[in-house]
């Protein structure tokens, strides 16, 4: 479903987010105070505007009251993202996602009304550490503290066995919620217990981080 959104701050995070949202069919208003950055992003969004987002009157003039969500991608100085978050909340924007560069920064943003605080550098570092530590681990999506969804290349010891035979919930405390089959190319959502695993399958697994770490180490 198409959404209307604003991305404020077009550094690496904001630029790529703007481009991705626009490519997915959303209406994206991109805002930055740099003329060069605005010029660079103008072909990858619905509208690109050079403006100082810390100025409330300027933001009101841009008429962003009706956006479905706003993303604040400003980095340092920290007071810029804090001020923009405060203005957006006072303007009645219901969903505000803000990039934080530290835990303390994130706590302040939450206190000011940020709907969600993200830590791109931290999240990417954790994902990279997980993939380097477990070669079979292809992707990692934290759901809540201590609980995640991961994509895992099918371990060699699982090949040729059914999900029922593996008893994954009893033995590892995890659940396969989908299987990405490469041969033939398709996705099996909530596969049945008699599904036989192949060496080309990618398992989408949900469970505690501790359980997922154990199964990721299996060959």
- Arithmetic mean of pLDDT over the chain: 87
Written as six digits, the tokens of 133 are: 């530590």
- Tell me what pLDDT residue 119 has: 80
Choose the weakest-confidence range: 1-15, 32-46, 141-155: 141-155
| Crossing angle for the helix pair 78-90 and 103-111, to the nearest 10 degrees | 20
Calpha distance 133→147 (Å, rounded): 18
Task: Give per-residue pLDDT as tens, 65-97.
Answer: 889 999 999 877 788 999 999 999 999 998 999
Listed in sequence order, the residues at least 6 apart from 94 whose beta carbon sits closer than 8 Å to its beta carbon are: 69, 115
199 plus 93 within the same structural domain? no
Q: What local confidence, expressed as pLDDT, does residue 118 receive? A: 86
Same domain, 29 and 48: yes
Closest alpha carbon to 206 in 167, 166, 163, 151: 151
Shared domain check, 51 and 29? yes
User: Is the model's pLDDT at 62 over the cut of 80?
Assistant: yes
Domain of residue 140, residue span = 123-216
What pLDDT, on the 0 to 100 scale, is given for residue 7? 96
* pTM of the model as a whole: 0.64
Specify the CATH number for the domain of residue 140.
Answer: 3.30.70.1450
| CATH number where 61 lies | 3.40.50.720
Judge if 150 and 76 occupy the same domain.
Answer: no
């Amino acid at each position: 479903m198409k959404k209307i959104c604003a991305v404020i701050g077009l550094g690496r995070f904001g630029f790529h987010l703007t481009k991705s949202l626009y490519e997915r069919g959303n209406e994206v208003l991109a805002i930055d105070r740099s003329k060069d950055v605005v010029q660079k992003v103008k072909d990858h969004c619905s509208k690109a505007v050079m403006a100082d987002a810390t100025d409330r009157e300027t933001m009101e003039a841009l008429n962003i009251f009706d956006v479905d969500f706003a993303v604040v991608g400003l980095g340092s100085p920290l007071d810029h993202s804090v001020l923009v978050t405060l203005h957006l909340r006072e303007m009645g924007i219901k969903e505000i996602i803000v990039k934080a560069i530290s835990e303390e920064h994130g706590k302040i943003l939450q206190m000011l009304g940020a709907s969600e605080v993200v830590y791109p550098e931290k999240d990417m570092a954790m994902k990279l550490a997980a993939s380097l530590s477990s070669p079979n681990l292809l992707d990692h999506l934290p759901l809540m503290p201590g609980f995640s969804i991961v994509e895992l290349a099918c371990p060699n010891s699982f090949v040729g066995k059914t999900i029922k035979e593996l008893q994954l919930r009893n033995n590892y405390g995890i659940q396969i919620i989908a299987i990405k089959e490469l041969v033939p190319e398709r996705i099996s959502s909530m596969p049945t217990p008699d599904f036989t695993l192949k060496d080309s399958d990618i398992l989408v697994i949900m469970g505690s981080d501790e359980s997922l770490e154990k199964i990721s180490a299996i060959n």
